[in-house]
Amino acid sequence: MVVDLLAAFHGIKVVKSSNQHIQKETNEITSKELLSLLPDDKLLGDPKAPILMIEYASLTCYHCSLFHKNVFPKIKEKYIDTGKMLYIFRHFPLDYRGLKAAMLSHCYEKQEDYFNFNKAVFNSIDSWNYYNLSDLTLLQRIAALSNLKQDAFNQCINDKKIMDKIVNDKSLAINKLGITATPIFFIKLNDEGDALEKINELSAKAPFDMIFIDADKSSYPKYLDWAESYIKQDGLIVADNTLLFNTVFLESPPKEVSEKSWHAMREFNNRLSDEKKYFSILIPTDEGMTVALKLT
């Protein structure tokens, strides 16, 4: 079971989402609908799973590659492969090579081949340093290893229809969801209600496989207290805005955040950095996202 802690000012809310296909033209899609399963989405897992995780990433993003090397395999094993999570990957290319890599991924019609290609590109991220910004040799080599012929390679990376779709999808992500960098994750589940009012009910359903925290920052340590009591061993605690707008590393609290929130987020981060209790990774998005696997 997963509980999603989500609130703007007071307390926690469990948000509801639908994994039903949205059948609208892209220019009519709302932000809420964009955070659902779309007809042309590339996905892993059961569309009826209780958890929906959407990732926006660039195949040339170093931090995205770290996530896919170190964290994603654990998520896939524990949640996707067991039917608990539906995972959707959406391209958000940050540069020319990222765009071409995204276009090339569309050459692979089978979902398995599509994700294997993405994985191969992420695993080769360090090799980009040996090529100039317009050199696609690395992509050619990855494509050749997957038995994609040169003619098909050339057709895919020059297909204007595919390029327009990727660019349009990125524009939607920027305008509807406010995305400006990668990786970005959206985690939703099929439940609703005020979790503070339902806390005893939620506790009764423990232990949980995953707890997602995105709430009042000054209360993060209290949320972590609750999460530690009710998360399974090897369960995931995912927390958003853990960098507190890049202020947690400062020696003193800045004016733009409250001192209470600053101290709370520093305590929260220090606790999740305990290597005896957690395997943690900080994903350096604009606001910061921490994914912690509870060890004990």
Q: What is the pLDDT of residue 190?
A: 56
Those residues with Cβ within 8 angstroms of residue 281's Cβ, 6 or more apart along the chain or in another chain:
66, 67, 70, 71, 290, 291, 292
Q: What is the pLDDT of residue 134?
A: 84
Q: What is the pLDDT of residue 192?
A: 46
C-alpha to C-alpha distance for 284 and 295, rounded to whole angstroms: 23
Q: What is the pLDDT of residue 93?
A: 97
Q: What is the pLDDT of residue 13?
A: 29
Strand partners of residue 56: 90, 184
Do 93 and 67 touch, CB atoms closer than 8 A? no
C-alpha to C-alpha distance for 207 and 130, rounded to whole angstroms: 48
Do 22 and 37 touch, CB atoms closer than 8 A? yes
| CA-to-CA dists, residue 181 to 3, 67, 93, 283, angstroms | 26, 14, 9, 11
C-alpha to C-alpha distance for 179 and 172, rounded to whole angstroms: 9
Which positions of the chain have pLDDT values less than 50?
1-24, 192-196
Full 3-state SS string of the chain = CEEEEECCCCCCEEEECCCCCCCCCHHHCCHHHHCCCCCCCEEECCCCCCEEEEEEECCCCHHHHHHHHHCHHHHHHHHHCCCCEEEEEEECCCCHHHHHHHHHHCCCCCHHHHHHHHHHHHHCHHHHHHCCCCCCHHHHHHHHHCCCCHHHHHHHHCCHHHHHHHHHHHHHHHHHHCCCCCCEEEEEEEEEEECCCCHHHHHHCCCEEEEEEECCHHHHHHHHHHHHHHEEEEEEEEEECCCCCCCCCCCCCCCCCCHHHHHHHHHHHHHHCCCCCEEEEEECCCCCEEEEEECC
Predicted confidence (pLDDT) per residue in 159-214, tens digit = 999 999 999 999 999 998 888 889 988 887 655 444 445 555 678 788 888 888 87
Kindly report whether the peptide bond that precedes residue 47 is cis, defined as omega within 30 degrees of 0. Answer: no
Q: What is the pLDDT of residue 200?
A: 58
Q: In the chain, what are the domains?
A: 37-189 (3.40.30.10), 198-294 (3.40.50.150)
Of 104, 84, 83, nearest in space to 93 by CA: 104
